A and B are shown apart, each in its own frame.
Chain A
Amino acid sequence: MTDFAIETWGLTKVFGQVAAVKELDLRVPKGSIYGFLGPNGAGKTTTIKMLLGLLQPTGGGIRVLGLDPKKESLEILMRTGYVAETQNMYGYMTVKEIIDFCKALYPRWEDGTVKKYLDLFELPTGKKVKALSKGMKNQLALALALGSGPDLLILDEPTSGLDPQKIKDFLTVIVEQVAETGQTVFFSSHQLYEVERIADWVGMIVQGRLVFSSSMDDLKARHKKIKVMLAGESLPQELTNRPEIIKIELQGRGYVLTVSGNIDRIIALLNSLNPSLLEVFPETLEEIFLAYTEGVRT
């Protein structure tokens, strides 16, 4: 068995002339909460749909729970809970009816889990699905996904459009589930605040390409913001051309550099320029995200 809940290599999806996902090598360790970041239209949902077998890749390979979605999608779907960005459940069914509908489809259904979360979210079982608010639909979808006793939970922008209290409840449930069952969670988001809190692994996709994928702690250790002020000089070319410097901002008379990797080497280089000020700051996930989406700009 592999140590990865999700593994892709060279995964590519082309729609007409446009490549939505390019050469994606994704590795999601078992038992992790993996935050899949990216701006809108970066290819997050396309990737998720390929993992679930809803879309056929143009090229490359996928293993989900060690299985091939092309041949073993039934087995994958049996062990995977999925919560879509917008819930498209049968509106005419009541909450209870849709639970019974799903229950019949899964071999490992856990009534206790569903009941626990229905109670926690205070979802009325007699109400029709179409009468539920967006937040309640999301909560219902999460309860259904967890009720199937999955080894892997795939969530596509699960908290978009929810109010802060509902987001907090949603995240708490996920954290609690992971603590209890050790299941893997793969969730796409651009709510960086929540990813920073609950994800221990994080990957980011921009224009269909993976720009980084690592543990959250490594990511933070690797990325720093350096504020530097040089006496009347601009930054030399040999520095601005270094690949580690992913963003350069001019602030007043100083520069703010966003550096990825080789922090010590960059600091040494800057020190050799005899700066009048040199400060190193930690980077938040949001700053790292923005540095990659904006690219190198001065």
Chain B
Amino acid sequence: MWFYIDPASGVPIYLQIINQVKKAAATGLLKPGDRLPSVRDLATELTVNPNTIAKAYHELEREGIIYTERGKGTFLAPREPKLLPEERRKMLEKLIDALLVEAHHLRFTKDEVREIINRRLEEWFNETGRDESD
């Protein structure tokens, strides 16, 4: 299993699961249509409260990253998220805002932030073998 939970990290467990599913999807470890473990199986596997897993799945489903078919299971959604472009944009902006707040606390200047983001952007697309047309 590619899920790993660190209860001692201080990060809420449902967020750790959300992040790991997102990461697995982004890096291609999980492909669209791949089946995710059931709430019960994952809860037992990780020894984590089933409500916590359900919460993570619910959140992922709301974001259109996974979908549930009654009686069949939970699957990774196709790359085209069900969310409207407007909504997707807002979500990304929220994350960028959080990043900017942190950058401000860490006392980075505007130019430094821009430079780091550009560099990581290039590195990430090279590492995962994706490009803009994908």
The answer to whether A and B touch in the complex, with CB atoms under 8 Å apart, is yes
CB of B111 to closest CB in A, whole Å: 21
* A171 contacts B by Cβ under 8 Å: yes
Interface with B: A45-53, A74-82, A88-96, A191-199, which one?
Answer: A191-199
Asked if residues B49 and A199 are in contact (CB atoms below 8 Å), the reply is yes
Quick check: B10 and A279 within 8 Å, CB to CB? no
Contact present for A168 and B10 (CB under 8 Å):
no
Which residues of chain A have C-beta atoms less than 8 A from B50's C-beta?
Answer: 175, 178-179
B106–A193 CB distance below 8 A? no
Does B43 contact A281, Cβ atoms closer than 8 Å? Answer: no
A176-B40, A179-B39, A179-B40 known; A282 vs B48 contact (CB < 8 Å): no
Interface of B is mostly: helix
Instruction: Please tell me the size bucket of the interface on B.
Output: 20 to 34
The residue from A171, A180, A267, A283 contacting B10, defined by CB atoms under 8 A apart: A283
Q: Could you tell me the distance between the alpha carbons of A196 and B11 in the complex, rounded to whole angstroms?
A: 11
**Who on chain B is nearest to A221 by CB?**
B12
State in angstroms the CA–CA spacing of A271 and B102 once bound together.
Answer: 12
* A200–B51 touching, CB < 8 Å: yes
B20 within 8 A of A: no
B92-134 residues at the A interface, CB under 8 angstroms: 102, 105-107
Within the complex, the shortest CB–CB distance from A264 to chain B, in Å, comes to: 10
Check: A141 CB closer than 8 A to any chain B CB. no
User: Interface centre among B14, B43, B50, by most A CB within 10 Å?
Assistant: B50
| A220/B40 in contact, CB under 8 A | no
Interface residues of B (CB under 8 A from A): 5, 7-14, 39-40, 43-44, 46-52, 55, 102, 105-107
